[in-house]
Amino acid sequence: MNAQFPIATTLKYNFPSPKETLQLHQLPKHFIELSLQSLKQTKHQQILPTKKTTTQFSTHQRPQPPIPTTELLTLTPNPTTTNIVAIDVSSVKLGETKTGILLGVRGAVVWKNPDHYRYLRLGPFPFHITRHIENRIRRLYHQNHAASYLQENSIPQAYFIQSRLTTLLERWIQSSIAHTTHNSIILWDGSLTAGTTETSVSTMQELLATARSNRNIILAFSKMTRLSLQGFRLTDLIKHTPPCLLRIKEYTDCIGPLRLMGNVYVAKFTKGSFAFRMDADKQLPSVRVVDAVQNLLGNDLILQSYPETLRLAHIFSTFTAIEVLGLQRCIIQKSNLKVVTKLNMHRLLFGRFGKGPEG
């Protein structure tokens, strides 16, 4: 480990290590090491900041084919005390170097206990993604089949690597939570789709199985803009007064390499035009899902069809413009970059908002 970083090296756990009881406070050694490794190479390189520094994404959306039939499930909020945990991870592109890209990743967990919310933020972690690091990340996935088309010395493709890194942290936090939490509703951002370059079918199966064995239920929420049924937007299909769920039956399980590990629902919890796609573990009976959702409605604040706990996790993980600047500054200092001024702090700080003294 680089001596510049005073980070405790007593981390017990390697990544990913779902068999052990993970403690969130102790980040996987590999993840931090990966970050440190990546930054080492940044030294003496010039950073070209991205024009749009706020390209953030935290969900994993993919186009879906049309769906055949639906089933409406009406809901009654159930106030029986239930613990809720939400997880979200965000990443942001910070800039580019000659050999790679700079990223920042952060995860957030929010717990909803009967009377209050509590959060844990992990990160932000800066990364300098080069071909070398990219390979290490791929090795971490134990996957060699996907995305091997990259040329030896080409710059890794921003979108894929950013999404991979985000998922890497996200799956790890999800795994930790699934292990350490019992009898809770676990909210994820995204879907239960596996078989992607980021998430193998076995990883997802393991996550779901762990959760089930601890009597947790995972509900994954995602914005659905592209889901449609016979030309109608799903949102418009729900005519029933909320709260209700629309179960999409016989949803195609496999699309190419993709596997849907969950049943897909349209969730409309409040009046208004908002509705979300909700995925729930396929292994669980539908009544169990309905029960959990009713508990969610009775325990969490729901605004615009979205659970507050998950919204908070999202807010705590996303980066503000200042955090982007702070991360850039952190990288510049820690990686001991020579050409500091090339990263135009002024522009970033004031941009088009800068104003004259009289203005």
Partner 1 sequence: MRLYKKEGATVQIISFPNEKVRKGDYLAIEDSKREESLIVQVIDMEYANIPGILEELLRNCNGDSSIEASIEGEDVDPFEVAAHVRYIQDARLLICKIRASTHKGKLIPTGFALPARSYARIRNISVSELLPCPSDKNGYPMRLGEIAEKKHLDVDVRALDGALNIITGKKGTGKSHIAKLLTLSLISHGAPVVILDLNGEYVRLGQNTKGEPNEFYSKIHVLTPKQNFKITLEQMRIRVLLNILVNVLHLPGTSAREFRRIWHFLEQKDALTIEELGEAIKNWRCNQHVRDALFSRYYTLLNSGLFTDNPAQATSLEDSLDRVRSGGAIVLNLQNESTTNRHILVEYVLGKLVELLTTWRLRAIFLFAEEAHLYLRETYWDDIVTRMRHFGVFTTFITNQPDTIRENIYRQVDNLFVLNFTNEHDLDPISRAARVDACTVKSIVRDLLPHHCLVLGKVVNDFPIIVKIRNLNVQMMGQTRLFFLNKDLQVNSIKR
Tell me the β-bridge partners of 146.
Answer: none
Q: Which is nearer to partner 1, 97 or 328 (CB)?
A: 328
Q: Which is nearer to partner 1, 72 or 301 (CB)?
A: 301
Among residues 96, 206, 291, 308, which is the contact residue for partner 1, using CB under 8 A?
A: 308
Strands 184-189 and 83-96 turn out to be: parallel
Quick check: 51 binds partner 1 (CB under 8 A)?
A: no
Tell me the C-alpha distance between 356 and 358, whole Å.
Answer: 5
CA distances to 3, 26, 124 from 10, in Å: 15, 9, 20
Tell me the C-alpha distance between 16 and 114, whole Å.
Answer: 31
CA distances to 238, 284, 293, 309, 310 from 269, in Å: 11, 21, 10, 14, 14
Q: Which of these segments, 175-183, 236-244, 245-253, 351-359, binds partner 1 (CB under 8 A)?
A: 351-359
Contacts made by residues 282-288, CB under 8 angstroms, sequence distance 24+: 282/192, 283/208, 283/212, 284/212, 284/217, 286/73, 286/247, 288/217
Quick check: 7 binds partner 1 (CB under 8 A)?
A: yes
Quick check: 49 binds partner 1 (CB under 8 A)?
A: no
- Binding-residue pattern over the window 102 to 141 for partner 1, x denoting contact by CB under 8 A: --------x-----xxxxxxxxxxx---------------
Among residues 12, 159, 226, 322, which is the contact residue for partner 1, using CB under 8 A?
A: 322
Q: How far is the CB of 83 from partner 1 (least distance, A)?
A: 15
Q: Which of these segments, 56-64, 94-102, 139-147, 315-323, binds partner 1 (CB under 8 A)?
A: 315-323
Residue 81: burial class (beta carbons within 10 Å; 0-12, 13-18, 19+): exposed
Residues that bind partner 1 (CB under 8 A): 5, 7, 24-25, 27, 32, 35, 110, 116-126, 301, 308, 312, 315-316, 320-327, 329-330, 333-334, 341, 345-346, 349-351, 353-358
